[in-house]
Structure 1
Amino acid sequence: MTLTELKYIVAVAREKHFGRAAEACFVSQPTLSVAVKKLEEELDVKLFERSSGEIGVTALGAEIVRQAQSVLEQAAEIKEIAKRGKDPLAGPLRLGVIYTIGPYLLPELVRRVIDTTPQMPLMLQENFTVKLLEMLRMGEIDCAILAEPFPDAGLAAVPLYDEPFLAALPKEHALARRERITATELKAETMLLLGAGHCFRDHVLEVCPEFARFSSDAEGIRKSFEGSSLETIKHMVAAGMGVTLVPSLSVPQHLVASGAHDDAGLVVYRPVVDEETGLPPSRRVVIVWRRSFPRYEAIVALRSAILACTLPGATRLD
């Protein structure tokens, strides 16, 4: 049994005609017919029902053809593995991204990767940090863009950028008239948070840890509300339900620079500072991968493409 014979029976099953199958395989019809007959004799089964019209596939033949297709696909993957070994940038790169980064980074990143390394298409997966780490360990993705901190899974990591947080406020809110806001001032507000599982929720609670209590009768603190995505949270802010913190990449830079409200005229964004340090609260975004991953050059190319993106408000890290 050879891969060539398997290729022939798959072609016959697809074309339902020996002549067309031979043309598709670039061989003569007698060559293909002899090879198919030889395989049937070796297996001692009848794969095809021959008639003057179309060729039919027997029930057992259909099962064998499906397995042959799987074998051919796996053989092709072996060639791809060898090809990637010679050129680490050849072949898809399976990239995971957390929900609070993907929508704001990926549109420009995908275009840059297409321009710089078209032979390395990105296969994208958005998910929570914990799920992406699990997929990395299982080999289901090659690398992931995450925000620190995250559970140490023995992965290699390199920093990409530091991203400050901005306060998102209803346009009529008293703090919306301020040029900047302190973390202390936010503690008296109704804070809108992402739901459990989002690492950005934890980042917000680091800035305003009081909201972790979720107590409606806590002194000076009102109950917090949750949303499923940053964009949903922004709509809740626009509706006057409270305030929130958002990463700078999620806000068009001209709105921050000019102090203007969003396009709908309902939300304003203001810088936030820590009263003790005078610095804005921020998160560090990194790219992580398995230490055994052989295509290090692909990681380097991806990192270069990320750092070439606009990254409004963020500080790139060497």
Structure 2
Amino acid sequence: MTLREFEYIIAVGDTLSFSRAAELCHVSQPTLSSQVKKIEGSLGVTIFERSNRRVHITAVGADIIASARRILREVAVMRETATTAQEPLAGRFNLGAFPTLASYLFPQVLPKIRKTLPDLSLVLREEKTDVLIEELRQGTLDAAFIALPVDDPALIAAKLFDDDFYLAVPADHTLARHKSVPTDVLREHRLLLLEEGHCLRDQALDICHIVGSGGQTDYRATSLETLRQMVKIGSGITLMPKLAIEPSDDTIVYLPFQGRPPHRTIGLVWRKTSKRTAIYEAIIDMF
């Protein structure tokens, strides 16, 4: 068996489709199918049950796919170790961030990374936090900017900064004339939230729970920019992280909270087994 054949069975396992797996692996479907049959014949087991309409992973097939993933991860670590030994601050580097952070942090930090690490070939990835964590585990990401804490024994997290939340209200809102507001004000007003799956939504709901507010449920935005537009037209108010504030926009007023403001803590996260420590340390030093 070859590493390429392992990639084939993983692709079929991920897509549950031989045609889509072939596209992902850039081979013809007959080629991929024959190679999968070859692996099954070599092992003497059925990895996939096939029908005209669907592909099903057998119990033993799930174990074999999991083993194939582990093997490919170990090979990736081996290659990374060799590359790092030769050029510790060079090579391809896959860096991720979640959507409510990526659009605002990447433009700030990328020029610094390029200046400090000019030989590093950056590949950026924007995804929700749970996807980023899984890709870190699988080895398809080298590091990611994630809201802490991250509770995973396979990963290391280093705090970078706290990003305070502000209350975003329309310029003609009754609160707009205030210089700051208490968090209790969230009990009295309609709060717009992101859709489920965004860590910023979870953070906002945590804040709402602390102050005894519910948050609006009949509208859920897909992005911070959508939330911003909804605030502009007077559909409600929302929590906006400082990093995403646009001070030149006079249609929205961003109010700081009184006392210790609610915030999200942003960190750099990577695998414990990674050998690219010099790069992680260089990025951390930029904050």
Instruction: Work out whether the TM-score is over 0.5.
Output: yes
Other structure's SS at 2:119 match: coil
Matched, 1:84 2:78: no
Cα distance in structure 2, aligned partners of 1:79 and 1:289: 17
Matched, 1:232 2:213: no
- Aligned residue number for residue 167 of structure 2: 167
Kindly indicate whether residue 272 of structure 2 is the aligned counterpart of residue 291 of structure 1. Answer: yes
Cα–Cα, structure 1 residues 148 and 83, in superposed 2: closer, same or farther, change >3 Å?
A: closer
Structure 1 residue 82: Cα displacement: 3.0
**Partners of 2:146 and 2:269 within 8 A in 1:** yes
1:83, distance to aligned residue in structure 2 (A): 3.8
Matches within 5 A, 1:44-83: 82-83=82-83
Number of the residue aligned with 2:15: none
Match of 1:115 in 2: 115
User: Is 1:134 paired with 2:143?
Assistant: no
Describe the SS at the equivalent of 2:175. Answer: helix
AA paired with 1:271? P
Equivalent position of 1:10 in the other structure: none
Deviation at 1:151?
3.8
Q: What secondary structure is seen at the aligned counterpart in 2 of 1:144?
A: strand
CA distance, structure 1, for counterparts of residue 136 and residue 152 of structure 2:
12
**Aligned mates of 1:202, 1:80 — CA distance in 2:** 35
Structure 1 gap ranges (5+): 1-62, 64-77, 215-221, 256-261, 308-318
Supply the AA of the counterpart residue of 1:183: T
CA displacement, residues 136-156 of structure 1 (integer Å, 9 cap, x when unaligned):
111110111111234434311
Q: Which residue of 1 aligns with 2:255?
A: 270
Distance 1:79 1:187, change over 3 A: closer
Gaps spanning 5+ residues in structure 2: where? 1-30, 32-77
Q: Which amino acid aligns with 2:132?
A: L
CA distance in 2, matches of 1:156, 1:177: 44
Measured against aligned partners, the alpha-carbon deviations of 1:174-230 in whole angstroms (never above 9, x if no partner) come to 001000011111221111001101111111111112455x6xxxxxxx655211011
Q: TM-score w.r.t. structure 1 length?
A: 0.62
**Number of aligned pairs?**
210
Q: How does 1:89-104 map to 2 (within 5 A)?
A: 89-104=89-104
Q: In structure 2, what is the Cα distance between the partners aligned to 1:229 and 1:199? A: 12
Q: Quick check: which has more Rg, 1 or 2?
A: 1
Cα distance between partner residues in 1 of 2:135 and 2:101: 18
1:47-80 per-position Cα deviation (integer Å, ceiling 9, x unaligned): xxxxxxxxxxxxxxxx9xxxxxxxxxxxxxx988
Preserved CA contact (<8 Å) 2:137 2:154: no
Identical-pair percentage: 36
Contact 2:186/2:213 (<8 A) preserved:
no
Contact 2:96–2:125 (Cα < 8 Å) also in 1 = yes
Counterpart code for 1:279:
R
Aligned position for 1:245: 239
Equivalent position amino acid for 2:275 in 1: P
Corresponding residue number in structure 2 for 1:48: none
